[in-house]
A = this chain, B = another copy of it.
Amino acid sequence: MSGTLDVQEAVAGLCCPPVTGAPLSGEAAAELARVLAALADPVRLRLLSLVASRAEICSCNLEGPLGKSQPTISHHTKVLADAGLIIGERRGRWTWWRVDAGRLAAVREALGG
């Protein structure tokens, strides 16, 4: 809206200027690295794509396709949620997950988008 806002405005919680711009500060690099570390796992990438493939998905629908134990799935959903990439909501006995598209876009922008 305002003319004073730039690329970093769209960066949901991620305060990193693009890596392709000026040299990153230690703090900005650490914060971006934390989110990227959450993404840098095959199981979590597949989990993320499963969540993204629908508006919402229940934890119980993740164990089967991913072929991992229930504690492992719970661990990975927590890592992605802590990184802000997915959002969980408990309804009754089930936990429903959805992607935070803004956060994912923020990562792309931090990567020089």
Contacts and interface: CB of A to CB of B under 8 A. Distances in A.
A49 B26 contact: no
Interface string A42-53: 110110111011
Contact of A45 (B19, B40, B101): B19
Interface string A23-44: 1101001101100110111110
Given A111-B107, A111-B111, A113-B108, A23 B46 contact: yes
29 contacts: A19-B48, A20-B52, A20-B99, A20-B104, A21-B49, A23-B46, A23-B49, A23-B50, A24-B45, A24-B49, A26-B42, A26-B46, A29-B42, A29-B43, A30-B42, A33-B39, A33-B41, A33-B45, A36-B36, A36-B45, A37-B40, A39-B111, A40-B40, A52-B112, A104-B112, A105-B112, A108-B113, A111-B111, A113-B113
